[in-house]
Structure 1
């Protein structure tokens, strides 16, 4: 495996922040704080690692209603979060490790990161994982995707973050990512490219544990630096990360999660802008309402239907799940 970036030499220092927080909002807030405020020049590069409760995380320019079954998530108590980076939608859970490598734009290199991660896993566990041109990690059959990638670059700083499926509930993953509105929405929002198949390490390495994978990744990241400290952190520790709670609150907000979605048209008859229904030929009475609050009323309603509208209660009772 080779990288398309310049050859990397051993660098002076780095820190691994291991967050034990179980909330995606807390972990994304920590990532944002470190990305914006960590002193890369004097303290060196950073890798952040975490696992959190079941969550669907979608890209900055995506439409959550098109990417996930948001109603199922609400009923199941599964979080829905918009991240700052672009790219496609992913599922996080206790059987998944999330890594974020924060560096300068100059040193930013996704292929190099994926190469050392794949080589570390292959050496330790006997797998044959390889990076792809799309900056994913796949099993040797070329079909099963075990990791997806996204990145962000701002003012000379960059991060590369990725998921790594170890031993996840794949049935739950599929249920969360099955949108009832797929094929019914017209939008310029970024749409995820579905993997041909989902892979995870436990398929090829029975009994593999999250802790084992995390230790291997920590050890191999540290080999790239003269010194590398591992710090267990509380993501919302204001003394260590001043202002991080305000960032976490923003990530949880309706304005960030829903109003940031690019405008879209459902079934050619309902327009949604800034998270609000602007107009609807099939439900004009819902104009001005947040789409996420009334979306059950649009399950199964195509613009070509001519039958009389059902009441709210009937429509909710016949929703597509």
Structure 2
């Protein structure tokens, strides 16, 4: 049960430190406490933990314009951030994790601005069917976080310029483009600013949790640990990932996300594998590639390995595994 509500804000606009502070807050959140962390990034594309940056983002264009590419810990898809977007993160112990309650804070804040919003699909919040907030989730040890965007006055032309969304994913959303799918809240509440939304979020946080929020003391943050984490998020090896030459590649989109599998086959064995996905369950995706690596190059054997790997997991994960097993059988290798 939450007994203390803390608010953390930052003036920093560089994504590597912002994500570092987010991870630090997750690692150190006390029991019975919920931290609401509010932050912004300047001209940034943030990709999901298991995504291929070269397929999700026009990296050269972004970097030529002085933008930043960063890979987050959570799953899900790529998003564009600029100063017209306000990011939020709820950080709690797993025992206090409550997505419905956390989303109520967002819905109450938006309602206070005269806008009726609703949760849609697996991770979106929309107004009139158009997305202004995409959400993702991450669990580690005893802690968890739920974070997302709130588009207030984002440059949608830049979002369309830098994000390289597959035609299949666009079709699955029933829209024609990235720009037509997303909405800025100031379209529904003219004159709405990021500053006002930040104030409304802080007030809604207190109302929903029934606790007067306090500011997180700056001196409680270990700057050296945050810097260590910043270096991790800024490391090109973390951002860009491995560049494995695959000789067998295939993909599919399921209702829980898209999957792209690359296999490097040598001497009848899968010598290396990589699985890219915008699935929300980032841990599930991370477990698939090690399961395939070292396996004989056989659809049947690979599918059976996958089945065994997730046999003791939740029904939901077993269904994910079955979908990939069918994809493996379809390749007939």
Gaps of 5+ in 1: 1-8, 184-189, 269-277, 280-321
C-alpha distance 108-177 of structure 1, shift in aligned 2 (>3 A): same
Q: In the comparison of the two structures, how many residue pairs are matched?
A: 246
The DSSP-based 3-state class of the residue aligned with 1:148 is strand
The DSSP-based 3-state class of the residue aligned with 2:139 is strand
C-alpha distance 257-149 of structure 1, shift in aligned 2 (>3 A): same
State the match for 2:124 in structure 1. Answer: 136
Question: Aligned ranges for residues 294-313 of structure 1 at < 5 Å?
Answer: none
State the match for 2:16 in structure 1. Answer: 25
Per-residue Cα deviation, 1:157-199 (whole angstroms, up to 9, x for no partner): 11000000001111011101036xx57xxxxxx9997683111
**1:91–1:173 Cα contact (<8 Å) kept:** yes
Give the C-alpha shift of residue 240 in structure 1: 3.5
- Runs of 4+ residues over 3 Å off in structure 1: 190-196, 237-242, 260-268
Q: 1:125 aligns with which of 110, 113, 117?
A: 113
State the match for 1:203 in structure 2. Answer: 187
The DSSP-based 3-state class of the residue aligned with 2:229 is helix
**1:62–1:262 Cα contact (<8 Å) kept:** no
C-alpha distance 61-150 of structure 1, shift in aligned 2 (>3 A): same
Distance in structure 1 (CA, Å) of the matches to 2:235 and 2:228: 11
State the match for 1:156 in structure 2. Answer: 142
Q: Does 1:70 find its partner at 2:59?
A: yes
Give the C-alpha shift of residue 155 in structure 1: 1.9
Per-residue Cα deviation, 1:230-289 (whole angstroms, up to 9, x for no partner): 2485xxx89634411111011111110112588767999xxxxxxxxx99xxxxxxxxxx
Distance in structure 2 (CA, Å) of the matches to 1:265 and 1:162: 36
The DSSP-based 3-state class of the residue aligned with 1:40 is coil
The DSSP-based 3-state class of the residue aligned with 2:77 is coil
C-alpha distance 164-193 of structure 1, shift in aligned 2 (>3 A): farther
C-alpha distance 138-30 of structure 1, shift in aligned 2 (>3 A): same
Distance in structure 2 (CA, Å) of the matches to 1:262 and 1:192: 29
Gaps of 5+ in 2: 176-180, 251-263, 266-333
- Which moves more between the two structures, 222-231 or 245-254? 222-231
Question: Aligned ranges for residues 216-227 of structure 1 at < 5 Å?
Answer: 216-223=200-207, 224-227=209-212
TM-score, scaled to structure 1: 0.69
**1:15–1:229 Cα contact (<8 Å) kept:** yes
State the match for 1:230 in structure 2. Answer: 215
Q: Give the superposed CA RMSD.
A: 3.0
C-alpha distance 202-38 of structure 1, shift in aligned 2 (>3 A): same
Give the C-alpha shift of residue 137 in structure 1: 0.6
Distance in structure 2 (CA, Å) of the matches to 1:191 and 1:36: 35
C-alpha distance 69-195 of structure 1, shift in aligned 2 (>3 A): farther
Per-residue Cα deviation, 1:27-55 (whole angstroms, up to 9, x for no partner): 000001111123235xx221110112110
More helix by share: 2
Distance in structure 2 (CA, Å) of the matches to 1:52 and 1:109: 26
